[in-house]
A and B are shown apart, each in its own frame.
Chain A
């Protein structure tokens, strides 16, 4: 246990480093906690809506868009929204023109709404589908009323018909919903829990937690690199005793030193994972850190240069983090890549805990 105590003492004796470690871990984890707290809201697609019409149909559409669960709508003038588009805070602008209602009334089904997007943009097509869903009610209303008003002896006004349709719409019987069932083909698990887009956002947060832990490990293992440069590791070989056990204990000491940060990171999503899930996340974090401590230990022994160790260590962190993110995004758009890399495996295990 001597090696364990010695390494832990060495780590804690550097008070400035301990202070920086505590400060950085708390700041980063608070940031990730904030991101997770707003995951449901921020995972919605950000769009701008410029409503240039005061007609009831335009106001209805504007209200529906603002209440949408799929979109994060920012209302404003064209100048304000254009600036937001330029600054990258929204992806597209939907302009409800002053002739919006007039077009719907006259049965026009083309170019009803102007969509301003960055040039060569294709991603906003899926947003159009969502917006079209909110327009459909009025498109259908004006079409059915047109049909109704063309009938012989028709005596109902548009207002009366509108109230009538609204009363029918209130009936939940007409609220069509797909009966969506989720089946994990890999495990044949029929899990019908709703899977939302906030899950993708949480996967990114999990990836960031993984990267944060790796960076902390690189810094925590700095001592190994310094000792290799100063030939302390070489001198230790001349002392009798089981070096393998000693090194294992020293690596365990680094893990213990990093445990408060791992514990805090496990608490970020406790609301979603529950206490049992948080324990699992904590254990996954410990496993990820232990794996990377071994990698850093080997790296420090091989490189024997403090600057090169820092550079290689951080680049490996970035590469592993990037592999984790690539795995998440590539699985959305096609075949998952790099699923076997540590951060990707950590993200996947995290998701299993959350679902």
Chain B
């Protein structure tokens, strides 16, 4: 039986050719994904209509701050210049610091700071919008507290020059506290859990997806054999349907495992992703499990088209619920509770968790 199934698999030259091409594409993809991409920089424009020492101080803080400079390019200019650069699509967003902005801020006259965001890309614009919203919290906190101090001092009858000096010194202190907010946090890496970049997450997810499709192909072979009457003829020769399916699973499972192990071995040698022996073993079990699962589905669904609809949708469903497309933490609670039972989720957590 096993010999027959191996010959059958090899004789479908087109399928073998497609698998070989896919394997080569996978290996080529590993090489291509190895290229280092330059870190993304955000291009920000500043129009300073105030042109005061204070506004200059804030700008200098940003332009000389190493952390800030590592991911942001600041371009300064007149309103016309910045609008022209923005119009060419070279800026992600720009600020307009209005005349007397810092003076009015210290005097608690709320002159809004205009931020013009390039919304050509909606997703990018959404992130910048959310970031600016969070920064407005900082300014509100500083304003409210400084204002309260000024009011309280006025009510208590303090001298106006003392009020102004106190207001000035505390305003700058709090502004620089807000700018140095990174120091508030003590980051402690949890060494039993690795982080995963989005690209790596998708590489693992695609791998699991292909494992499921390998299972689907096995089921399809089982279905074709039944539809063509081969199964019935083999039964008359004394070969039970169970034996036929076990043989299919062994042949397809072993051949698919070999293909996957070659690709993951290549990943280990040439790629950035590291596959442990345990991960390889886990993948092998998943391939055999998927072959068994889809062979059972092929036994239950008698229509070829019905099998294709059902198994394709089952794979898509398992991938979505397992966080293969949207990471589990971003799924609604009702859906993420199913993740534990999904292969994509199990595989990714197996890779990430260190015992």
A interface, CB within 8 angstroms of B: 14-17, 19-21, 23-25, 27-28, 31, 34-35, 37-38, 41-43, 46, 69-70, 82, 85-91, 109-126, 128-137, 139-141, 143-144, 147-148, 151, 153-156, 161, 164-165, 168-169, 173-189, 191, 194-201, 203-204, 207-208, 211-212, 215-216, 218-219, 222-223, 226, 303-308, 310-312, 314-315, 318, 322, 325, 328-329, 331-334, 336, 351, 355
29 pairs from A and B in contact (CB 8 Å cutoff): A17-B309, A21-B306, A28-B313, A31-B320, A38-B332, A88-B323, A112-B185, A118-B189, A118-B196, A121-B195, A139-B184, A143-B177, A144-B148, A165-B145, A174-B108, A177-B136, A184-B119, A187-B120, A195-B125, A196-B130, A198-B126, A201-B326, A215-B313, A219-B308, A219-B309, A223-B305, A304-B14, A308-B17, A314-B213
Any chain A CB within 8 A of the CB of B180? Answer: yes
When each residue 271-283 of chain B gets 1 if its CB lies under 8 Å from chain A and 0 otherwise, what string results? 0000000000000
Instruction: State the main secondary structure of chain B at its contact with A.
Output: helix
Give Cα distance in the complex from A249 to B216, angstroms.
31
Q: Which residues of A contact B146 (CB under 8 A)?
A: 140, 144
Q: Are A222 and B166 in contact (CB under 8 A)?
A: no
Instruction: State the main secondary structure of chain A at its contact with B.
Output: helix
Q: Are B177 and A139 in contact (CB under 8 A)?
A: yes
Q: Which residues of B contact A140 (CB under 8 A)?
A: 141-142, 144-146, 174, 177
Given contacts A161-B152, A218-B312, A351-B122, contact A135 B184 (CB under 8 A): yes
Nearest CB in chain A: distance from B20 CB, A: 12
A-B contact count (CB 8 A): 390
Give Cα distance in the complex from A278 to B236, angstroms.
56
Q: Are A143 and B174 in contact (CB under 8 A)?
A: yes
Given contacts A31-B317, A140-B174, A311-B213, contact A21 B309 (CB under 8 A): yes
Q: Are B130 and A70 in contact (CB under 8 A)?
A: yes
Given contacts A88-B327, A148-B152, A199-B122, contact A20 B134 (CB under 8 A): no
Nearest CB in chain A: distance from B27 CB, A: 15
Q: Are A88 and B15 in contact (CB under 8 A)?
A: no
Q: Which of B44-52, B53-61, B240-248, B346-354 contacts A (4 or more CB under 8 A)?
A: B346-354
Q: Are B195 and A120 in contact (CB under 8 A)?
A: yes
Q: Are B186 and A311 in contact (CB under 8 A)?
A: no
Given contacts A151-B153, A332-B123, contact A306 B224 (CB under 8 A): yes
Please, which residue of chain A has its CB at the minimum distance from the CB of B109?
A173
**From A148, A185, A223, contact of B149 by CB (8 A):** A148
**From A131, A155, A182, A308, contact of B117 by CB (8 A):** A182
Q: Are A168 and B144 in contact (CB under 8 A)?
A: yes
Residue of B177, B191, B352 most packed against chain A (CB within 10 A)? B177
Closest 10 CB pairs of A and B: A24-B313, A133-B137, A17-B305, A16-B303, A182-B119, A136-B141, A140-B145, A121-B195, A132-B181, A16-B306
Q: Are B220 and A307 in contact (CB under 8 A)?
A: yes
Q: Are B123 and A328 in contact (CB under 8 A)?
A: yes
Q: Which residues of A contact B160 (CB under 8 A)?
A: none
Q: Apart from A23-B310, A212-B316, what are 4 other A-B pairs with CB-CB below 8 Å?
A: A42-B332, A43-B330, A88-B348, A318-B206
Any chain A CB within 8 A of the CB of B81? Answer: no
Q: Which residues of A contact B345 (CB under 8 A)?
A: 88
Given contacts A28-B316, A311-B213, contact A136 B142 (CB under 8 A): yes
When each residue 72-103 of chain B gets 1 if its CB lies under 8 Å from chain A and 0 otherwise, what string results? 00000000000000111100000000000000
Q: Are A156 and B213 in contact (CB under 8 A)?
A: no
When each residue 314-355 of chain B gets 1 if its CB lies under 8 Å from chain A and 0 otherwise, what string results? 101100110101111111101110000000010011001100
Any chain A CB within 8 A of the CB of B12? Answer: yes
Give Cα distance in the complex from A69 to B132, angstroms.
13
Q: Are B143 and A174 in contact (CB under 8 A)?
A: yes
Nearest CB in chain B: distance from A300 CB, A: 12
Q: Which residues of B contact A43 (CB under 8 A)?
A: 330
Q: Are A322 and B202 in contact (CB under 8 A)?
A: yes
Any chain A CB within 8 A of the CB of B66? Answer: no
Q: Are B145 and A141 in contact (CB under 8 A)?
A: yes
Please, which residue of chain A has its CB at the minimum distance from the CB of B67?
A125
Q: Are A176 and B194 in contact (CB under 8 A)?
A: no
Give Cα distance in the complex from A53 to B186, angstroms.
17
Please, which residue of chain B has its CB at the minimum distance from the CB of A319?
B25
Given contacts A86-B192, A174-B140, contact A117 B187 (CB under 8 A): yes
Q: Are A176 and B143 in contact (CB under 8 A)?
A: yes
Nearest CB in chain A: distance from B66 CB, A: 14
Q: Are B158 and A91 in contact (CB under 8 A)?
A: no
Q: Are B193 and A109 in contact (CB under 8 A)?
A: no
Nearest CB in chain A: distance from B102 CB, A: 13
Nearest CB in chain B: distance from A335 CB, A: 9
Q: Are B190 and A119 in contact (CB under 8 A)?
A: yes
Any chain A CB within 8 A of the CB of B250? Answer: no
Given contacts A34-B334, A117-B190, contact A195 B148 (CB under 8 A): no
